[in-house]
Structure 1
Amino acid sequence: MMAHRLMPPPTRQSDRVRTLRLQVRGFLTDQRDAGAFVPRVDSWGDGWDESFSRALADQGWVGMTIPTEYDGGGRSFGDRFAVTEELLAAGAPVSAHWVADRQIAPSLLKFGTDHQKQTFLPEIAAGRQYWAIGMSEPGSGSDLASVRTKATRAEGGWRLSGTKVWTSGAHRAHYMFVLARSAPLDPARRHDGLSQFIVALDSPGLTVSPILNIAGTHHFNEVLLDEVFVPDEMVLGDLGAGWHQVTSELGYERSGPERFLSSLVLLRAALNEVGDGTLEPDPRLGAAFARIHGLHHMSASVAQTLESGADADTPAAIVKLLGTRLEGDIVDVVDELTGPELRGPSTYSQLLRSGVLARPGFTIRGGTTEILRGVVTRGMGLR
């Protein structure tokens, strides 16, 4: 239970939310004891388990903010935030439904047609449909205004050609949002002429190739689109409004608890070793917990802003910047403190190894540190 004592209580936590947290903890304890999952670092990025996602959906904990008319939970962002924190604190394998639940569903609700909502939202809420995001490109990275994937008018729709990279889960997902240039680039107005498209990942002309990480594991992909046809009814939002839509979507991607809790399960394991006397105490471990506490409140505040429908681009970028730095710091400190006697075939050693291997990706996904510093600087009026 130490993992849950590490979680700071949310601001003004109601009895209802407290009860919800206890329900999630009980479920996770039962699942872990039954061998349904083994806690892991970066469980939202590299913990793909479709049966676990469906089990969560059966409890009503996927699609929580989707309205009931689309078979969702009709619950608040605060409720979803509480469940998300509990799942991450336990290191539960949630990556199968993560992108769909975190940002696809809110974007469909905000920009999608009724046909798109009726088609996709019930399947997302059931934990049966998985999505990827096609934003970054070779040579573009986090500079989304420079994307070169082209959308060309065709009878009844559009044909998309280009390449997307770092596309998490594309080899397993069903659909993908693709940002493409639907009008010629105007150097003076680089953000104009971009549109978003809903692309089925089994479409003719679409090829998914793995990008292996340094451990040889696979969740990143390169996606090649070669004249992939997308019907008009699968244009998301307004043509030419892709930049506005993507930046709105990035508020969900950058600000959630996954931006500072990816390595919490490792911090908990290290504190357990300190308690057992096998790891020397270090003030940096306590400082990490204090930073988690602060980021919890920052992230919860952004969730409230997003629920109100307001933009949260700059606060979300700040959470992502500070959070991913913290996640990496936790791995670095624990790795430094761990001697050879703790690096054998143990659960602790496996957590540390997975943390070290996952660490390089923390500051890349969701926007590189360099790009996000620019977002924050502009958002604060300093540039």
Structure 2
Amino acid sequence: MTALRFDPLRLPPHCQELRQEVRAFLADEIAAGTFDPHHPEGGAANADAFSRRVGARGWIGMTWPKAYGGQERSFLERYVVTEEMRVANAPTRRFFVVDRQSGPTLIRYASEAIKRNILPRAVRGEVSFCIGMSEPGSGSDLFAAKTKATRTDGGWLINGTKIWTSNAHQSDYMIGLFRTSQPTRENRRHGLTSFLVDMTTPGIVCNPIGQMTGHREFNEVVFTDVFLPDDNVIGELDGAWKQATSELAYERSGPERFLETYGALDALLRAVGPEPDVRTAAGIGRLVAQLHTLRRMSVSVAGMLEAGREPVVEAAIVKDVGTLWEQALPQRARELSAFLEPDDANHESFEKRLAFYLKTAPKLTIQGGTTEILRGIIARGLGLR
């Protein structure tokens, strides 16, 4: 049984100084037309160049060893950068996955050759990663994965399908979870191995999965006799479940897990102005209080990661509660805007922004694990199942 811990933690002064530095950088990027904070996904065309500029500031791989180009800075500092980027709707998808989880996974489990080859380029903002975990028919149950890696001369042949793979069509690499042997009666988690996949390898096809927003993000990735050399095995053969669960602590606990629809709250505040009516003010107050609570929990998890702990259960709680909050936020913002004048210019802008977030909200439970899976993890950690 796991004892839950969300230690109260305040960001130290040097983190607040970093926050001002990041805000100034983002203000310059917005002024230069790199992206518009009021139009999510609008900076996609400039994402590659933006990624390299973020890398030049030392804000990718901040926590990584200096031997691989990192800064050996704290998880709390990384938290500040992530939070500011997310709130500003900056085009971070080019580097975010490798910075958040793929890089730390390679540092911990990959060969020295892979680390020396990939990590310095990632730090410079030159490579992007996607995560190959979920599969058709198994959803967030990672241990039900059926995509097979079969032994062949000098390596492995991969056959099968991954699904809901965010930005696979734009990624240079994937860390994929593949079945290398059958599970045992004693351990259904046995038999899965992580591999580094070069996404330009012959036999890989990325099929788009449509979204209501009209933006392409999710993909179905099909592998047909894709050859991966032995050197591309990441970590222990047949034992990837040990590293996959710790990897998800990085994926599930950050501010991106409750800030994806934050723009709906920002739009509401702009629409109602500095003197909202009592009903609206009370509703906004509740939303801000809930957001503050989520933020304190997420900062606490960042502190645990900084201390070398693996807060898997706490991270699952942040993801579960955070997703429910950010999914409900656009509709709640619409309810609180009910008394705005329809011909108000602020109202028209608000409706346009809100429409995007309402279309975005349904997909949020897919990212990082469904609510049902997360609650199973929480229940198991608490000794309830």
What is the CA–CA distance in structure 2 between the aligned matches of 1:27 and 1:247, rounded to whole Å?
34
Which residue of structure 1 aligns with residue 196 of structure 2? 198
For the 8 Å contact 2:193–2:237, the answer to whether it is kept is: yes
Q: Which amino acid aligns with 1:19?
A: E
Evaluate the alpha carbon distance shift between residue 330 and residue 52 of structure 1 in structure 2; reply closer, same or farther with a 3 A threshold.
same
Deviations 1:47-88 (A, max 9, x none): 982221112111111111122111122211111011111111
Q: 1:357 aligns with which of 339, 346, 359?
A: 359
Report how far residue 304 of structure 1 moved: 1.9
Tell me if structure 2 keeps the 8 A contact 1:135–1:144.
yes
Provide the secondary structure at the position in 2 that maps to 1:223. strand
Structure 1 pair 12/208, CA: closer, same or farther in 2 (3 Å)? same
Residue 179 of structure 1 aligns with which residue?
177
- 2-side partners of 1:292 and 1:248: how far apart? 25
Q: For 1:63-82, what aligned pairs fall within 5 Å after superposition?
A: 63-82=61-80
1:268 aligns with 2:266: yes
Measured after TM superposition, the shift of residue 217 of structure 1 is 2.2
Contact 2:272 2:337 survives alignment (8 Å):
no
Aligned to 1:232: 230
Letter in 1 for 2:207: S
Match of 2:209 in 1: 211
CA distance in 1, matches of 2:133, 2:345: 38
From the superposition, tell whether residues 296 and 344 of structure 1 become closer, same or farther in structure 2 (CA, over 3 Å). closer
Tell me the distance in 1 between the aligned counterparts of 2:137 and 2:190. Answer: 19
Distance 1:124 1:40, change over 3 A: farther
Question: What amino acid does structure 2 have at the position aligned with 1:309?
Answer: G
Q: Is the 8 A contact 1:132 1:169 kept in 2?
A: yes
Q: Distance in 2 between matches of 1:78 and 1:215?
A: 32
Contact 2:36 2:42 in 1 (8 A): no
Matching residue's letter, 2:222: L
The answer to whether the 8 A contact 2:283-2:336 is kept is no
**RMSD (Å), alpha carbons:** 2.3
Partner SS state of residue 127, structure 1:
coil
Length-normalised TM-score, structure 2: 0.91
Question: Is the Cα contact below 8 Å between 1:298 and 1:319 reproduced in 2?
Answer: yes
- How big is the shift at 1:318? 0.1
Residue 249 and residue 343 in structure 1: after superposition, are their counterparts in 2 closer, same or farther (change >3 A)? farther
Q: Which ranges of structure 1 fall in alignment gaps of 5 or more residues?
A: 1-9
Secondary structure of the structure 1 residue equivalent to 2:273: helix
Aligned length: 374
Alignment of 1:325-364 (within 5 A): 325-339=324-338, 340-341=342-343, 347-364=349-366
- Aligned residues of 1:47 and 1:94 also touching (Cα < 8 A): no
Classify the secondary structure of the residue corresponding to 1:300.
Answer: helix
Q: What letter corresponds to residue 288 of structure 1 in structure 2? A: L
What SS does structure 1 have at the residue aligned with 2:157?
strand
Question: Secondary structure of the equivalent of 1:167?
Answer: coil
- 1:34 is aligned to 32
Q: Give distance in 2, aligned partners of 1:345 and 1:217.
A: 24
Q: Which residue matches 2:60? A: 62
Shift of 1:346: 5.2
Displacement of 1:311 after TM fit? 1.8
**Contact kept in structure 2, 1:174 and 1:202, CA below 8 Å:** yes
Residue 308 of structure 2 aligns with an amino acid whose one-letter code is G
Deviation at 1:188, TM superposition (A): 3.9
Change (3 A) 1:341 1:355: farther
In 2, the alpha carbon distance for the partners of 1:34 and 1:355 equals 25
**Greater Cα offset, 149-158 or 339-348:** 339-348
Q: How does 1:290-301 map to 2 (within 5 A)?
A: 290-301=289-300
Residues 35 and 42 of structure 2 are in contact (CA less than 8 Å); yes or no, is this contact kept in structure 1? no
Pairwise CA distance, 1:362: 1.3
* Contact 2:305–2:311 (Cα < 8 Å) also in 1: yes
Task: Say which SS state the counterpart of residue 139 (structure 1) adopts.
Answer: coil
